[in-house]
Structures are given as structure tokens and as C-alpha cells.
Structure 1
Amino acid sequence: MSRLYMNTAPTHIRTSHSLPARHSHYKTPLPSSTIPSAKMAGTLPILDLQELQGSSSSENLREACEKWGCFRLVNHGVPVKLMSEMKSVVGELFDLPIDVKRRNVDVLSGSGYVALSSKNPLYEALGLYDMGSAAAVHKFCDQLAASPQHRETILSYAEAIHGVAMQVAAKMAESLGVVGRSDDGAGLFEGWPCQFRINKYHFQPETVGSPGVQIHTDSGFLTLLQEDESVGGLEVMDPSDAGYIPVDPVPGSFLVNLGDLATVWSNGKLRNVKHRVQCKEAAVRISIATFLLGPPRDTVVEPPPAFVDDVHPRLYRPISYDGFRELRRVTDKHAGEALQLLQGPPPAASMDQI
């Protein structure tokens, strides 16, 4: 069983499967009109990725991650045109016949096509386990018989958003004093699977007020969400755990959520934010999510030594991402409660062996 300290060299580096540079023709500046001038969007912190270099910005990032567990990201470098084209492609993929959508299967249960169900009757999804692998992205396109134009857009988006996820994760670690080899996260998160999931909410007049997706936390390290700029419904738990706050969409931005694994790695410093989707209006809602999950294979996640001392004892037992994901599944604990099962003395059988 290998162990992962975030200031060590990566245990797994993809080379031949890395995505090539494909989105140069999208490189247009993000219009200033899409970047909120205030530091808060409603109540959520707003952070500019290009400004996350100085000490004050790093402090703002750390505060957002510790207090909120989420923030809005602007000036991230993903062109607005590419984001718009990707949303159009997603809409057309969901319009495919059901038998075509069911071809979307992947290495883990739940990482491919998710049909409407009794548990989530308004929610449908498509996806792949690791968008950081060009081979996996091509397989996804093959499964859905994507046109050449759609394939180009998907590949360009995958490359761009994967790069943003790596940068944000590296900056989060740096804000806590853990520094990698470079600003793009090399040496920290290289080789971590980056799950891609596109979501469609079938909201109807009779479902207004109903949940689109149940209350949950994300299982991995962090999530980047491109929201539907026209249809809201996402709500996050406020910092005092007193209730849910509506998250109004901001075109041209991403919402960043921290997951359970970020809490484990940071020894409780980083907040895993609970969130849900509510049906607010009778309109289809589309969102595009990118999940930086955790280290591959049997590598376990535990806090760097600097996070553990006599004053700050270790809160959670080391566990692999796959082991933690399975723990959530078998216990049906999806809203952060599974972390409690990692506290205290280890059980007879280590959960990272599940």
C-alpha cells in the first residue's frame, strides 16, 4: 500500500494519454462583463485565478476553502465561446436515443450513463471516469457517435478544464503551505483521475419545489461546475450550517466545491460543502461538472506531516479514494457522514481494502 504526501513526487504520471493542445483557436479574452467586480456573488466568495499569486489572494483562497468549502472562480482562462459551445454539445448528446446513451459505460459503476430513477426522477447524466486521458475522451465520443465537430469541442473543453482543475488544486495546497514543483500542480496531483459528468434536470411544472438531486457532498478532492446560466436551483450549506443558500449562476464563471477527500487530506482544515439541486422553475437545467477525485490505484490519502501535531492530532485514518468511494456506497452515506467512519481506531478490515 503506497502513501501519498502532497509535497512528494507523484506516484503515477500519464504521458501517452495526456490530452494534446487543441483549443488554441478558442483563446479569446474573457469579456470583462462576465467577471463580477465585487468580491462576493450573493454571499459566495469570488476569486480570480490569475490573481492567486500574492499572499493576500492566497489568504482569501484559504479562507474561502476553510469557511465555505466553495467559491466562484473567474478569469480562469477557459474561453466563454468554448463554454457556450460545450453546453450546446451537451444538449445535443442528451437528445440522443436512449439506446445510444446507454452505450456510455465506464470503468466504475455510475461514471457512465445515469438514467432517470425512482431515487432521482428528474436527473439524467452522461460521463467518463478520467477526462485527463485522451484515450478515455475519444472512447466517450465513440460510444455516443459524436460528430467530428462535437468531438473537437469535447476534446478542447476537456483539455482546458483539466488544466484549470490542476491549477486550482495546486493553489489550494499552496494556500496551506504545501508547494508542488510548478504552478500547474505538477508533483502534487499529476495522475489523479478527473471525472467528467454532464447533467440534465428534467424540471416540469408539477415538480417545482421538488429536489433535483438529493443533499450530498462530493467524494473527491474538488469539483469545478459550469452551471446553467439561465436556470438556477443549486444550493449550498451556509458556513454556520444553518440552512441552504441559493447559488445564482454567473455566466463565464465556474463554481468550485470541495469534497470529502479535501477534508481528509487537510486534517479537517478544508470544508466539504453540502449541496443540493432544487427545482425552482419548469425548465430544463444543464450543468457540466469536472471532479478531481483522488490518487489512483491503492495510494492512500493522509495529511502532510505539517498538519498533524500534539495540538492537531490526526482526525481521519488514511484511505484510498477507491476505498472511500466504496465506503460511501456500502453505507449509503453521501452527505459527509462517511468521514465519521474514518475516525477512531481502525476496524478489523481496513476500509482502503474494500
Structure 2
Amino acid sequence: MAESNGNKIPVIDMKYFPGQSEKLIKACEERGCFRIVNFEGIMEESLMLEMKTVVRSLLELPMEVKMRNRDVIAGSGYMAPSDINPLYEALGLYDMASPQAVDAFCSNLDATPHQRTVILKYAKAVNELMMDISHKIGQGLGLNGLFIEDWSCQFRINKYNFTPETVNSPGVQLHTDSSFLTILQDDEIIGGLEVMNKSGKFEAIDPCPGTLLVNLGDIAAVWSNGRFLNVKHRVMCKETGIRVSIASFLLGPKEAIVEAPLELVDLEHPRLFAPFTYQDYRNFRIGNGLHTGEALDCLRIHQS
């Protein structure tokens, strides 16, 4: 498969490892995002389509039902349209690797047995895919074993209500993800996602059905000791319609501290960030309205 959509977002073929390892690490360092293809052994395209149907129906529920989707951690539950993001609303599920958490999410939204089954299958599949990608990243850096055994996962199902009057308006503000990585199942028809490259220019990421987009977030920048790019991105209203996407986040350790592994720290590459817990970082970032990675500057170790 060629580079996607003419905007040179790297395409990583999941069937060809370790042959794709160098390309994967380069994408993490230079772009902070990439598409993956040939992941069918973990996530079937039929399941992706089923999940999108379920997601659309959940987002059409009455407001009083969606409001039952409450935060488990800050920002993890239902988000109604706001002054900052008036075209956007979302439902969220924290700890998607837990069948009990998935079951509670479904019960709060009065999900049907079929919807519940699809959500459980999707949560399991996307969690396994996040583990697989992270394992390949670790191998690409020469690390032994997984580093994410007890990391939290979350997904967020997003709806953008684009009207003729809102064309050229932001669908969601510019931000980085606070997570290690995000797997995005984008809308198959309506685009609008834009990523910022290292020169500060925005590049449109057009829909590409049958693929998944991976973004790296703030935790990846810290964990890699500054090697990986926490990509800034936004959604713009480019056309009229309802845009729906599913974002699945590998957040960070539930209790352990976030820091670069010793293998990535030496005299030539001193530790760049003070260690912290993911929860403290998320609270600091949200509490101070630091949405584009600025919170990391407060954690930088100033070298003498």
C-alpha cells in the first residue's frame, strides 16, 4: 500500500515485522502518527463496521440517558457540546480492558444484548491491538518484553454535527493526547482531521476505510525520553454532515510512575523529564487547561 492520501503519513503493515520496525520507529520520531494495515488477525473489518453502527445509535440516545455516562477519572465520561467545542459531543469508557467496566458502560446506556456483545468484542480486540503495537515499538527500540502490562485503556466515541453554517469552523480544538498512543477508527466518509507537522503546518488526514490511524501522545514523548513526537491535531468542519469516530487510548500506568526506561537514558541522552504518575499528570493538564503538550514543559529537567 502506498503512502496514504498524498500527505505522506507513513503506512505500517502489521504483517511484516520485524521488517517494518525501522519504519515504525521513524514514524514515531518524525511524525508522531501513522496508519496501520493488515491487522485483521486482531481486529476484523466486519467488527469495525458493526461497532460504528452501534456507536451511531448510542450517540442518538436522549440526553438524559447519555448523561448517565459519568466520569470515572476526569474527562472520561459524557461530554456535551460546549462553548469551546460547540459542534462536538462524546461518550467515554474508562478501563475498556475490564469486562466489568464495559458491562457497566453498557448498562448505563441501556445497550441491547447485541450492542453489548459488539462493544465487548471491540474493546477486547482494540486492547489487544494496542498491546501488539506497543510491543512492536518496544522491540523496535531494542527493549525486551512488554512495558505496559498494567496500563489503563479508554475509548471515546465522538460525534461532530457539521452544518452549512459551521463550514471552516473547528470541530474540536487543537490538542495533543495525554495518552501513550491512540488508535483512531475515523469516519469513513466525512474528513476533517488535521495533524501538525514539525514545521507547524497542518496536513489533512482524509478518510481511508479499512485502516486505522495511530497517534502518539504526551506519555509517549516522556517514555521515549523525548525521541517520539506527541502530535498536535484538530478536527475542522470541511463539509455538512454527521461525523463519527472511535478513539481508543492506551493511557499510562495505573499506579506506577511514568519515566523513560533505563535503556533509553545514558550520558549522551540524559533523562529529560522528572518522573510522575499518569493520574497526577492528567489532573494537572486538565486543571490548568494545557491541551497542546505545554504541561510537559513543567516536567522538564533543566540540564546544568
TM-score (norm 1): 0.83
Report SS of the residue matched to 1:44. Answer: coil
Q: 1:222 aligns to what? A: 181
Q: 1:281 aligns with which of 235, 239, 246?
A: 239
User: Among residues 193, 197, 212, which one is paired with 1:234 in the alignment?
Assistant: 193
1:331 pairs with 2:291: no
Alignment root-mean-square deviation, CA: 1.3
* Aligned equivalent of 1:309: 266
SS at match of 1:50: coil
Aligned counterparts of 2:214 and 2:55: Cα–Cα separation in 1: 20
Counterpart residue number, 1:344: 301
Deviation at 1:126, TM superposition (A): 0.3
Mapped partners of 1:249, 1:174: distance in 2:
30
Match of 2:80 in 1: 115
Answer yes or no: is the 8 Å Cα contact 2:179–2:252 preserved in 1.
Answer: yes
* Distance of 2:45 and 2:264 partners within structure 1: 38
1:63 aligned onto 2:22? no
Runs of 4 or more consecutive aligned structure 1 residues displaced over 6 Å after TM superposition = none
Partner of 1:167, secondary structure, is: helix
Which of 113, 133, 147 aligns to 1:188? It is: 147
CA contact (8 A) 2:156 2:248 kept: yes
Tell me, yes or no, if structure 1 residue 131 matches structure 2 residue 88: no
Structure 2 letter corresponding to 1:38: A
Name the CA distance, whole Å, in 2 between partners of 1:223 and 1:242.
21
Task: Say which of 37, 40, 62 aligns to 1:74.
Answer: 37
CA distance in 2, matches of 1:81, 1:247: 23
Tell me, in whole angstroms, the C-alpha distance in 2 between the residues paired with 1:102 and 1:124: 11
Distance between the aligned counterparts of 1:212 and 1:330, measured in 2? 22
Number of matched pairs:
300
State the shift of 1:40 in Å. Answer: 4.2
Q: Secondary structure at the match of 2:151?
A: coil
- In the other structure, the counterpart of 1:155 is 120
User: Corresponding residue for 1:213?
Assistant: 172
Does the CA contact (< 8 Å) of 1:44 and 1:71 recur in 2? yes
Amino acid at match of 1:282: T
Q: Match for residue 349 of structure 1?
A: none
Aligned to 2:223: 265
Distance in 2, matches of 1:169 and 1:333, equals: 26
Is the 2:271–2:301 Cα contact (8 Å) retained in structure 1? no
Secondary structure, counterpart of 2:10 in structure 1: strand
SS of alignment partner, residue 90 of structure 2: strand
Q: Which residue number in structure 2 is paired with residue 198 of structure 1?
A: 157
Q: Distance in 2 between matches of 1:52 and 1:282?
A: 40
Q: Report the counterpart of residue 38 of structure 1 in structure 2.
A: 2
The structure 2 residue matched to 1:293, chosen from 251, 266, 270, is 251
Q: Which amino acid aligns with 1:119?
A: I
Counterpart mapping for 1:163-178 below 5 A: 163-178=128-143
String of CA shifts for 1:110-157, please: whole Å, max 9, x gaps.
Answer: 211111111110000001111000000000000000001111111111
Secondary structure (helix, strand or coil) at the match of 1:76 reads coil
Q: Which amino acid aligns with 1:126?
A: L
Superposition deviation, residue 344 in structure 1: 3.2
Q: Which residue does 1:5 correspond to in 2?
A: none
* Structure 2: unaligned runs, 5 residues or longer: none
1:173-215 CA deviation, whole Å, 9 max, x = no partner? 11111121xxxxxx42122111011000011110000001100
Asked whether the equivalents of residues 115 and 123 of structure 1 are also in contact (C-alpha less than 8 Å), the reply is yes
The equivalences for 1:12-31 within 5 A come to none
The gaps in structure 1 that reach 5 residues or longer are 1-36, 181-186, 346-354
Q: Does 1:252 align with 2:218?
A: no
CA distance in 2, matches of 1:305, 1:191: 19
Distance in structure 2 (CA, Å) of the matches to 1:220 and 1:339? 12
SS at match of 1:137: helix
Answer whether contact 1:39 1:47 (CA < 8 A) is retained. no
Secondary structure of 2:253's partner? Answer: coil
Paired residue secondary structure (1:293)? strand
Contact 2:74 2:283 survives alignment (8 Å): no
Q: CA deviation at 1:313?
A: 1.2
Distance 2:179 2:144 in 1: 20
Q: How does 1:93-108 map to 2 (within 5 A)?
A: 93-108=58-73
- TM-score, normalised on structure 2? 0.96
